[in-house]
Structure 1
Amino acid sequence: MRLKRPEGMNIIPFIDIMLVLLTIVLSVSTFMAHRSLVLDIPKTDTNEALTQKRSHEVVIDANGLLYWDENPLALEALDETLKSLPKEDELILKADTKAAFGTFIEVVDALKRIHHPHINIVVQKK
């Protein structure tokens, strides 16, 4: 006597349910682009609050990419951008802990060349 083979599980209803759930999630969720960089900032025992001057940010992300006020900037263009910076404006330097140290040093070297009086390096308190 021959036994009938089981036909297997019918997964079509499961796929239908998953597609309905995916449609609900996609229609409810918002796709707003947040213009912020996620950085893992180094931690120190001391840090001070920044003053309320007009400020500009130089950010080095984990991949070693450079940003000026959240806009991508080539390292070669940093010198030109810094030269146009007014002396009374504050300059904030943020670097991810995974950023290449060489990139950080190149940015600090560019900052030294302009002799800007208001430079702050951002860290987090431990």
Structure 2
Amino acid sequence: MKIKKFDQINVLPFIDIMLVLLVIVLTSASFVSKGTIPVDLPEASSTNAPIEKMQSIVIDKEGNFYFEEKKMSFDALKAKILSLDPKKDALIIKSDAKSQFQNFVRVIDLLKSKGFEKISIETKQ
């Protein structure tokens, strides 16, 4: 019985395993770092002022609406949203998981009808 000399290493299986691990790390890292649902916002021109702060709209599990932590009816929220600039102001929507989906749809429909471009939806990880 003759013993073969070990003079080369086959690295192709090692490369395949490393590529699979790289794909797993990159896909999981994108979910961890963002923490929100990505929204494809249109590009802003250089003449617009930068966004200073995102204003929040919150819907609790009882269906109450809050704008910047101030409780209000849907009609009052609608009036507040009408006073904002749809091109410049950015809004973030936080809806309780147990709230009626119809309340969320009403807010999104209102924002869509007024032409808001910078809308984010906050979720927990």
Q: TM-score range by the shorter chain?
A: 0.5 to 0.7
Work out the CA distance in 2 between the residues paired with 1:60 and 1:49: 17
Is the CA contact 1:78–1:110 (under 8 Å) kept in the aligned structure 2?
A: no
Work out the CA distance in 2 between the residues paired with 1:113 and 1:77: 17
Work out the CA distance in 2 between the residues paired with 1:48 and 1:95: 13
| Offset at residue 48 of structure 1 (A) | 4.5
What pairs with 1:44-123 in structure 2 (closer than 5 Å)? 47-48=35-36, 53-86=52-85, 87-123=87-123
Measured against aligned partners, the alpha-carbon deviations of 1:16-54 in whole angstroms (never above 9, x if no partner) come to: xxxxxxxxxxxxxxxxxxxxxxxxxxxxx5634999632
Measured against aligned partners, the alpha-carbon deviations of 1:91-111 in whole angstroms (never above 9, x if no partner) come to: 010000001111111111111
Measured against aligned partners, the alpha-carbon deviations of 1:69-98 in whole angstroms (never above 9, x if no partner) come to: 000111112222111112322101000000
Q: Give the TM-score, by structure 2 length.
A: 0.57
User: How has the CA–CA distance of structure 1 residues 53 and 62 changed in structure 2, closer, same or farther, with 3 Å as cutoff?
Assistant: same
Structure 1, unmatched stretches of 5+, are 1-44
Work out the CA distance in 2 between the residues paired with 1:75 and 1:109: 12
- Partner residue, 2:10: none
| Offset at residue 121 of structure 1 (A) | 0.6
Identity among equivalent positions (%) equals: 31
Work out the CA distance in 2 between the residues paired with 1:107 and 1:49: 17
Is the CA contact 2:58–2:69 (under 8 Å) kept in the aligned structure 1?
A: yes
Structure 2 letter corresponding to 1:71 = K
SS at match of 1:94: strand
Structure 2 letter corresponding to 1:62 = K
Q: How many residues align?
A: 81
Q: After TM superposition, which residue ranges in structure 1, 4 or more long, deviate above 4 angstroms?
A: 48-52
